[in-house]
């Protein structure tokens, strides 16, 4: 698997399945976005333990999967820094709407989990971000609202997708770009 393929939903899903991970590609991406948007610094290796705790029962990842997840972490961080490049790791638009919606709900729940692990002072967030976090929470429960696959449902899906991207961007602007990992004091 080449590095570009690591951002392909199906390829990432296959890699997860190959290593017996029960998490989905959307969940992996959501947790990573949540950790970064909650304030995890790019050079703070603690994000890996948070990731493992949330998606792998605290166990480390096999080498190939760890490499892919690390690449994804740095790619997401750079995408958020560029402000308008972030795309969520979701099934392609040619997949059935219910599959894409399930992935979106998984992403939203995973984002909130990752965000909550790092950022525990949501009361310090702007009212806009607090409302956005509530909206993301609501998105985790929207499946019943999409009864049929039609233009209206596709348009609603697109609105929710863009709303998630906006929420992640807003959270990153307020809490992201975390502080560097704390330095350990030198013992003499």
* Whether the Cβ atoms of residue 137 and residue 99 lie closer than 8 Å to each other: no
Residue ranges and CATH numbers for the domains of the chain are 4-175 (1.20.120.740)
DSSP annotation of 80: H
The pLDDT of residue 75 is 92
CB neighbour class for 167 (10 Å; exposed up to 12, middle 13-18, buried from 19): buried
Neighbours of 131 (CB within 10 A): 13
Asked whether residue 6 carries a pLDDT value surpassing 90, the answer given is no
Task: Judge if pTM exceeds 0.85.
Answer: yes
Stated as kind and residue range, the H or E segment containing 167 is helix 151-175
Q: How far apart are CA 28 and CA 46, in angstroms?
A: 16
Alpha-carbon dihedral sign for residues 157, 7, 138, 126: negative
For residues 147-159, give the mean pLDDT: 85
Asked whether residue 33 carries a pLDDT value surpassing 60, the answer given is yes
For residues 106-111, give the mean pLDDT: 97
Q: pLDDT confidence of 180, banded at 50, 70, 90? A: very low
* Whether the Cβ atoms of residue 27 and residue 72 lie closer than 8 Å to each other: no
Q: pLDDT confidence of 178, banded at 50, 70, 90? A: low
The pLDDT of residue 165 is 94
Question: Lowest-pLDDT range, 81-90, 154-163, 177-186?
Answer: 177-186
Asked whether residue 187 carries a pLDDT value surpassing 70, the answer given is no
Q: How far apart are CA 36 and CA 31, in angstroms?
A: 9
For residues 8-30, give the mean pLDDT: 94
Provide the residue count of the chain: 188
Q: Does 109 or 45 have the greater pLDDT score?
A: 109
Q: How far apart are CA 27 and CA 69, in angstroms?
A: 12
Neighbours of 9 (CB within 10 A): 19
Structure tokens at 73: 């972490």
């Amino acid at each position: 698997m080449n590095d570009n393929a690591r951002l392909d939903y199906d390829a990432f899903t296959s890699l997860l399945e190959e290593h017996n991970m029960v998490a989905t590609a959307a969940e992996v991406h959501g947790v990573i976005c949540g950790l970064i948007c909650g304030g995890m610094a790019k050079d703070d290796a603690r994000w890996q333990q948070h990731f493992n705790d949330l998606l792998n029962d605290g166990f480390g990842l096999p080498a190939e999967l760890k490499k892919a997840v690390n690449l994804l972490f740095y790619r997401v961080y750079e995408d958020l820094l560029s402000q308008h490049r972030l795309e969520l790791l979701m099934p392609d638009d040619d997949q059935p709407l219910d599959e894409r919606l399930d992935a979106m709900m998984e992403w939203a729940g995973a984002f909130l989990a990752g965000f909550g692990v790092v950022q525990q002072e949501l009361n310090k967030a702007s009212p806009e971000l607090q409302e956005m976090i509530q909206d993301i929470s609501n998105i985790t429960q929207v499946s019943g609202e999409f009864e049929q696959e039609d233009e209206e449902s596709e348009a609603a899906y697109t609105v929710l997708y863009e709303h998630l991207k906006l929420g992640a961007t807003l959270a990153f602007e307020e809490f992201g770009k975390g502080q560097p990992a704390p330095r350990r004091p030198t013992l003499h």
